[in-house]
């Protein structure tokens, strides 16, 4: 309960029964409100149900020419306001919708605006690896900050250093605890003892190594060669997979070329059962068709995007993970324990 405000030497303070905080660093907030765009309303509803907090009513629609229109239909003045919106396909539309929602919230005098972005789009364009190309992941960070975002909550960035592209706080959660829990239910103790974690390419070694350490199992790598944006050739396996159950770990898949090519060579090297664990399954018809024809028995993905479905795809919910992150951010609590398995 705010009792009074003190103006002294150009600084504004928020006096409460517990402490005194400088408003220049911590806004004097009322309480938490959450809303969503049109990118993934199902996930937003799951988060809302977990928090037992109704979604703030907002109108998000389009003019005849395709321009996005947003109106927040409730008072959010001074609120700790969270906007849930993955920038999944259609990526440009969902990103622009998020920016417009942030601007609407800022002009409605929200106390603090946190963008909850389960999938951070353009994350693969995180470096200048060719002449005259953009670093679009940095551009998106700039756009979010310029629009008025005070904080970002996201899951399994394609490259962890993207956090450094922001000059605002970024809470980077990991889906690993959720996926490990489901994998243990799926395989059981005896088959878990015979498990090997595999990186389907050299770039994913760190993630796969981390998962292997968490599970206490062996580790292997598939070396690949990318022929084109949709075609990948797997070449070699580094490590022993013969007679083993294999879990391939990837942060993101769109066409499933890398995973399916890796599964083929793992099968040739004697792998027994092959699974895949994917944080963001941005799947199209080509990917689902490839999975159906592949040696992969099941793909365990999160529901960070609505495209995560298929005959061999099982989406596990990260709504509790994100809801706990939202709650702890609002209460100024640590999110570190959410990484524990």
Domain segments of the chain as ranges: 31-174+320-339, 176-317
What is the CATH number that goes with domain 31-174+320-339? Answer: 3.40.50.2020
Options 3.40.50.410, 3.40.50.2020, 3.40.50.300, 1.10.340.30; CATH for 176-317 is 3.40.50.2020
- DSSP tag of 157: -
Alpha-carbon span 277 to 289, nearest angstrom: 18
If residue 140 lies in a helix (H) or strand (E), which one and from where to where? helix 136-147
Q: What is the pLDDT along the chain (341 residues), one digit of tens a residue?
A: 444 444 444 444 444 444 444 334 444 566 899 999 999 999 999 999 999 999 999 999 999 999 999 999 999 999 999 999 999 999 999 999 999 999 999 999 999 999 999 999 999 999 998 999 999 999 999 999 999 999 999 999 998 899 999 999 999 999 988 988 888 888 776 667 789 999 998 878 888 898 888 888 899 999 866 666 566 565 788 999 999 999 999 999 999 998 998 999 999 999 999 999 999 999 999 999 999 999 999 999 999 999 999 999 999 999 999 999 999 999 999 988 887 76
Instruction: At 47, list the tokens.
Output: 């988060």
Candidate list 33, 138, 176, 224, residue with the active-site label: 224
Q: What is the pTM of this model?
A: 0.87
DSSP β-bridge partners for residue 314: 300
Distance CA 144, CA 322 (A): 19
Whether 31-174+320-339 and 176-317 share one fold: the answer is yes
33 is a catalytic site residue: no
């Amino acid at each position: 309960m705010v009792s009074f405000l003190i103006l002294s030497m150009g600084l504004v303070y928020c006096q409460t029964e517990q402490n005194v905080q400088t408003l220049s660093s911590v806004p004097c907030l009322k309480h938490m409100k959450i809303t969503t765009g049109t990118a993934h309303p199902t996930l937003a509803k799951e988060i809302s149900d977990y928090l037992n907090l109704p979604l703030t009513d907002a109108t998000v629609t389009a003019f005849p020419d395709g321009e996005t229109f947003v109106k927040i239909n409730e008072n959010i003045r001074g609120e700790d306001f969270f906007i849930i919106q993955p920038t999944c396909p259609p990526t440009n539309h969902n990103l622009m919708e998020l920016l417009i929602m942030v601007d609407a919230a800022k002009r409605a005098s929200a106390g603090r605006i946190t963008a909850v972005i389960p999938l951070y789009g353009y994350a693969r364009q995180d470096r200048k690896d060719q002449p005259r190309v953009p670093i679009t992941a940095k551009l998106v960070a700039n756009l979010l900050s310029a629009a008025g975002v005070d904080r970002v909550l996201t899951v399994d960035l394609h490259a962890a250093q993207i956090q450094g592209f922001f000059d605002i706080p970024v809470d980077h959660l990991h889906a690993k605890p959720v996926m490990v829990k489901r994998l243990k239910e799926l395989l059981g103790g005896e088959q878990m003892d015979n498990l090997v974690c595999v990186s389907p390419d050299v770039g994913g070694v760190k993630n796969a190594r981390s998962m292997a350490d968490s599970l206490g199992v062996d580790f292997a790598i598939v070396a690949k060669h990318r022929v084109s944006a949709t075609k990948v050739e797997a070449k070699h396996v580094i490590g022993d997979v013969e007679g083993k159950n294999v879990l391939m770990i990837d942060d993101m898949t769109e066409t499933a070329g890398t995973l399916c090519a890796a599964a083929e060579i793992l099968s040739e090297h004697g792998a027994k059962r092959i699974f895949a664990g994917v944080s963001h399954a941005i799947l199209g018809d080509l990917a689902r068709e490839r999975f159906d024809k592949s040696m992969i028995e099941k793909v365990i993905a999160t529901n960070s995007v609505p495209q995560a479905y298929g005959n061999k795809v099982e989406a596990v919910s990260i709504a509790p993970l994100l809801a706990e992150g939202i709650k702890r951010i609002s209460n100024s609590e640590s999110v570190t324990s959410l990484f524990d398995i």
